[in-house]
Amino acid sequence: MAARTSATRPLKQPWLLLTLAFFALQAAGQAFAPSPIAEHVATEFSQCKHFFPAGLPPIVPKAPLQRELCFNGFAVLHSGQTKTPVFVAEHLDRAVLQQGRNIQRSDHFYAEARLPSDERAEVGDYRNSGYSRGHMAPAGDMGSVEGKAQSFSLANMAPQDVELNNGAWNDIEQATRKYVQRAQGGVYVFTGPVYSSAPQTIGRSGVHVPQFFYKLVYDPSTGRSWAHWQPNEPRRKVSAPISYEELVRRTGIEFVPR
């Protein structure tokens, strides 16, 4: 599917802006609080709304160079500033995971040709950087050959500490799949990076290195949701989950618009 540029459509729900502002004001003086005056926009994802609860994609802080990409097994809001995702969305169920069990990974990483060359990461950016190419939508979630291959697009990657990638983050991905296999229906998963005010970069493209990673799990059949918030550093132990409301406060993103 062709890349879709994120629409900068002002919110028509002023109460939602007030809610986000309230979270920000409540957390004044704390890290990761979104600005109470930040403008927010609704994403569209017109070609792949099925990855989002009730077909409603997230509402995000307005930023330049954000583009929407639809893949077979996931959707990406990509930032041409960081050369990484803003978020990656998946809709998983037991059948999808079962279909993918016997499909081998391609392990072929590639630059996303649908993105302008000055807005994307290149394979060489990660070489000798000391960081892994960290999947946001993991290959293990994909239920088709095409989906697994597409998960190796660099539009789905962010620089991730090697030990974290092989340790706690891998544990989080496996725990998410185990929950999906037990769930009564489809489960929505949002994953992405969060940056410091002055992030390190790697490669000639200047790919930003995240300070944290998050993974939100939302089960509409039960109304339950929780989020993992993991520092991008060598750590084997999985951090304690945080609430949906806390994740919204830290990222400024309304992942499940009401």
pLDDT bin (cut points 50, 70, 90) of residue 106 is confident
H-only helix segments in 64-136: 94-100, 123-126
pLDDT digits (tens, 9 = 90+) for 198-251: 999 999 999 999 999 999 999 999 999 999 999 999 978 999 999 999 999 999
Percent of the chain with pLDDT over 90: 83
Residue 28's CB: how many other CB atoms inside 10 A?
A: 8
84 found inside a domain? yes
Boundaries of domain holding 100? 4-251
Name which of 129, 194, 119, 198 is nearest 155 in CA terms: 119
Average pLDDT over the chain, rounded to an integer: 89
CATH number at residue 145: 3.40.570.10
pLDDT at 19: 40
pLDDT at 37: 54
* List of residues 6+ apart from 240 with CB closer than 8 A: none
257 found inside a domain? no
pLDDT digits (tens, 9 = 90+) for 17-42: 334 433 333 433 344 444 455 699 99
pLDDT exceeds 70 at position 7: no
| Count of domains forming the chain | 1
